[in-house]
Chains A and B, each alone.
With several copies, the nearest count.
Chain A
Amino acid sequence: MTSAQTDWFDTPAPPPADEVLHVDVDGYEGPLDLLLDLARRQKVDLSGISILALAEQYLAFIEKVRERRIEVAADYLVMAAWLAYLKSRLMVPQAASDDEPSGEMLAAMLQFRLKRLEAMREAANRLMNRPRLGFQVYARGMPEPIEIARSAIWEASLYDLLKAYSSQRERGVVAEYAPKLRTVWSLQDARDILLRLIGDSVEWVPLDRILAEYLAKPSERATVRASTFASSLELVRQGEVEIRQGETFGPLLMRRRRKDTP
């Protein structure tokens, strides 16, 4: 196997130092879009791109995003896992007995997909730049009523028909709508749990760390934060705990109030 001497191992393009990646995935339409954007930043033709470097950039990017605790859709993580796998295939020489696709093949395929997406994007641009009807090209402004023999007096398209069908089936569904039951922490529950978790600790501890085990479930995260925060204000008022926040949007720190202090 000759995997060690291929294009994919060419010197990785240096990451553009002057360009700070926006640490946010909201602007991207999926992992492929993000990868294409990263590839574009290398400012070379897609055919000459280093897939290894690209994979590293993607992994670094996702890592950075997660450090900032920005939630990343599963798609991005699956791609990250796959790229990590690809990286391993590219860096480890392939055993002759190995039936799995070689790293080069996987990389070539990713490159193909990036090229294809870019080509479609360019095609869309070229389409929109054509002389379009109603923008640069015009139809007869004053059509004259000429009767062209048509088979139907009534006009309806397949789309109209399907839309009519779908919307009335959905209408039927809405009538049977039952609100989804969600777990909600009552303020009393939140107060009890908070007091139990803080215990007698007089150290400043971030609220999120106190609540770590409860915050793991995404479906309950909002109610856990909201209810405990509201309860904690009440506890402060009653002189049970103290709260501190160093900066705007910084972590909320909490501790048991020492009884001996006035």
Chain B
Amino acid sequence: MEQEEGDVLRRQLRIIEALLFASTEPLRAADMAPYLGEGANVTKLLKALQAEYAERGVNLVRRGDGWVFRTAEDLGFLLRREEHETRPLSRAALETLSIIAYHQPATRAEIEEVRGVATGKGTLDLLMEAGWVRMRGRRRTPGRPVTYGTTEAFLDHFGLETLGDLPGLEDLKGAGLLSGRLPADLQIPLPFTGELREDEDPLDPSDLGDPEPVDEES
């Protein structure tokens, strides 16, 4: 009886192994379930397979909801090919990508607030074209702006299992640098960020262009 169960398990492992090995893209548990017969615990099988490959030259890694075989990271320097990126990312695109990754879901206005500059044409659409960024939905605020987030292909490209693996994420959170808005006691936007909060008045016109102190009350 036990022997039989072991055989079924072995066969199921071989099937998901074959499916995953054959594919270049991550596969979800749901993609593989139909091949396994009823009652198969795909997640458990995946964990078992991952353990079997942990020490090999090829590893089974998780990418968001998907699973995929990739060459082991520590062999990277050996396998490194002299390939060049077809289009290296501009600094603007890189910054935008990391802001979206760390602040998602982020609206365009929020991205611009962090960078302090308007997002040029060809930045967001380039990142979407590369398949790293996608429109996620809309923010429930006036104007219902579209929100952006990263894709599974982003995780795969940068070798991250989940967004929680983003480098330095915890430190940045701890330092309060990832709050979408400024810390509560610091919510005074700079002029170029747009709106003022309702409890504020705009600067007087005379403030602009006059570098001298304008305080008359004191």
Interface residues of A (CB under 8 A from B): 29-33, 59, 75, 78-79, 81-82, 84-85, 87-89, 91-95, 97-98, 100-101, 105-106, 108-110, 112-113, 115-117, 119-124, 126-128, 130-173, 175-176
Is A136 a contact of B168 with CB atoms below 8 Å?
A: no
Contact indicator B89/A88 (Cβ below 8 Å): no
- How near does chain B come to A92, taking the closest CB pair, in angstroms? 5
Contact of A136 among B21, B79, B82, B129 (CB under 8 A): B79
Q: Are B159 and A131 in contact (CB under 8 A)?
A: yes
Complex Cα–Cα for A100 and B188 (A)? 10
> Residue B1 at the A interface, CB < 8 A?
no
Chain B contacts with A in 5-26, Cβ cutoff 8 A = 18-19, 21-25
Q: How many A-B residue pairs have CB under 8 A?
A: 309
Which chain B residue lies CB-closest to A175?
B116
The verdict on A159 contacting B128 (CB below 8 Å), with A88-B212, A133-B156 known, is yes
Identify which of B116, B177, B179 contacts A30 (C-beta below 8 A): B116
Instruction: State whether A143 and B24 are in contact (beta carbons under 8 Å apart), knowing that A136-B79, A161-B94, A171-B116 are contacts in the complex.
Output: yes
Query: What residues of chain B lie closer than 8 Å to A166, measured between beta carbons?
Result: 172, 177-178
Task: Find out whether the CB atom of A32 lies under 8 angstroms from the CB atom of B86.
Answer: no
User: Complex Cα distance A79/B117, Å?
Assistant: 11
Taking CB atoms, residues of chain B closer than 8 Å to A120 are 95, 98-99, 102, 114-115
A31 to B115, CA, bound (A): 9
> In the complex, A105→B197 CA distance in Å?
15
With A79-B190, A159-B134, A164-B95 already in contact, the answer to whether A112 and B203 are too (CB < 8 A) is no
- 1/0 contact trace for B158-186 toward A, CB 8 Å? 11100000111000100101110011011
A144, B22: Cα distance in complex, Å:
5
Interface centre among A132, A155, A162 (most CB of B within 10 A): A162
Report the minimal beta-carbon distance from B95 to chain A, rounded to whole angstroms: 5
Closest chain A residue, CB of each to CB of B209: A81
Instruction: Determine if B116 and A33 form an interchain contact, defined as CB atoms under 8 angstroms apart.
Output: yes
Contact of A165 among B22, B98, B192 (CB under 8 A): B98
State in angstroms the CA–CA spacing of A165 and B80 once bound together.
Answer: 35
Q: Are B87 and A153 in contact (CB under 8 A)?
A: yes
- Contact (A161, B207) CB under 8 Å given A78-B192, A126-B167: no
Partner pick for B89 among A31, A81, A113, A160, CB 8 A cutoff: A160
Q: Does B215 contact A (CB under 8 A)?
A: yes
Find the B residue at minimum CB distance from A161: B98
Bound CA–CA A171/B24 (angstroms): 37
How distant is the Cα of A75 from the Cα of B117 in the complex, in angstroms?
Answer: 8
A-B contact sample (19 more), CB < 8 A, given A33-B116, A95-B217, A142-B25: A29-B115, A30-B117, A33-B115, A79-B191, A84-B211, A87-B211, A105-B188, A113-B182, A120-B102, A126-B168, A127-B98, A140-B69, A144-B22, A145-B85, A147-B83, A148-B23, A158-B159, A162-B135, A168-B116
Q: Which residue of B lies closest to A133 (CB)?
A: B157
Q: Check if B76 sits within 8 Å of A113, measured CB to CB.
A: no
Residues in B whose Cβ lies below 8 Å from that of A145: 22, 79-82, 85
| 14 pairs of residues in contact across A and B, judged by CB atoms under 8 Å | A32-B116, A81-B208, A84-B210, A87-B211, A88-B214, A101-B200, A121-B95, A140-B24, A141-B25, A151-B156, A160-B94, A161-B98, A162-B135, A163-B125
Most chain A Cβ neighbours within 10 Å, of B32, B78, B118: B78
**By the criterion CB–CB under 8 Å, are A116 and B114 in contact?**
yes
- Taken together as a complex, chains A and B put the C-alpha atoms of A171 and B178 apart, in Å, by 11
Q: List chain A residues, Cβ under 8 A from B190.
A: 79, 82, 109-110, 113
> Which one of B22, B201, B209 lies within 8 Å of A141 (CB-CB)?
B22
Q: What's the minimum C-beta distance from A257 to chain B, rounded to whole angstroms?
A: 42
A120–B34 Cα gap in the complex (Å)?
Answer: 40
Say yes or no for B122: interface residue by CB 8 A criterion: no
Q: Name the distance in Å between B165's Cβ and chain A's nearest Cβ.
A: 9
In the bound complex, do residue B22 and residue A138 qualify as a contact, i.e. CB atoms below 8 Å apart? yes
The reply to whether A138 and B70 contact each other, CB–CB distance below 8 Å, is: yes
Residues of chain A within 8 A (CB-CB) of B92 are: 29
